C-alpha cells in the first residue's frame, strides 16, 4: 500500500524576472484524456509567471519543478498564468504542450 493519497494533486510554481507579455486572449492546447494533458495560458497582473498543475500522478513534485524550471528558462515570460490539467503525461509531452501554447500567443505578445 502506498503512502501517497488518492485524488488530484495541486502544485504551484512561481517565476520572476521574465519579459512581461502584452495582454492576450486565453490560449488552450491539448486535451485531457488518457495519458495526456491540457495547457492554458492567460494574461495575469504583475510581472511573474505563475504555473499551477492539477495532476492525477501524485508524488512527482520534483519532476514537475524540473519541467517548470526548464519551461521558464526557455520562455522567460511574465504577467502570465499557466494552468496545466494532467492525466499522466510524460515530461516530454508536457514540454511539447507548453511550447505549443507559447507558440499560439499573438505576434508580438512576447516583445
CATH code: domain of residue 62: 3.30.230
For residue 30, is it within any domain? Answer: yes
Counting the structural domains of the chain, the total is: 1
For residue 2, is it within any domain? Answer: no
Q: CA nearest 87: which of 41, 39, 51, 34?
A: 34
The DSSP secondary structure of 53-106, one letter per residue, reads EEESSTT-HHHHHHHHHHHHHHS-EESEEEEEEESS--HHHHHHHHHHHHHTSP
For residue 108, is it within any domain? Answer: no
Q: Is pLDDT of 99 > 90?
A: yes
Name the phi and psi angles at 89, rounded to 5: -70, 150
For residue 70, is it within any domain? Answer: yes
For residue 4, is it within any domain? Answer: no
* Per-residue pLDDT, 57: 86
Position with higher pLDDT, 110 vs 92: 92
For residue 23, is it within any domain? Answer: yes
Paired with 80 in beta bridges are: 43, 49
For residue 35, is it within any domain? Answer: yes
* Per-residue pLDDT, 111: 58
**Containing structural domain, residue 82:** 9-103
Cβ 26 vs Cβ 40: under 8 Å: yes
Across the range 29-57, mean pLDDT stands at 90
Amino acid at each position: 500500500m502506498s503512502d501517497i493519497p488518492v485524488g488530484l494533486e495541486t502544485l504551484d510554481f512561481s517565476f520572476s524576472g521574465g519579459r512581461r507579455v502584452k495582454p492576450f486572449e486565453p490560449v488552450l492546447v491539448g486535451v485531457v484524456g488518457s495519458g495526456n494533458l491540457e495547457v492554458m495560458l492567460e494574461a495575469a497582473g504583475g510581472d511573474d509567471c505563475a504555473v499551477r498543475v492539477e495532476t492525477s500522478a501524485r508524488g512527482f513534485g520534483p519532476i514537475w519543478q524540473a519541467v517548470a524550471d526548464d519551461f521558464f528558462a526557455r520562455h522567460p515570460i511574465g504577467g502570465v498564468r499557466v494552468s496545466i490539467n494532467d492525466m499522466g503525461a510524460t515530461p516530454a509531452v508536457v514540454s511539447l504542450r507548453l511550447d505549443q501554447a507559447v507558440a499560439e500567443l499573438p505576434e508580438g505578445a512576447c516583445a
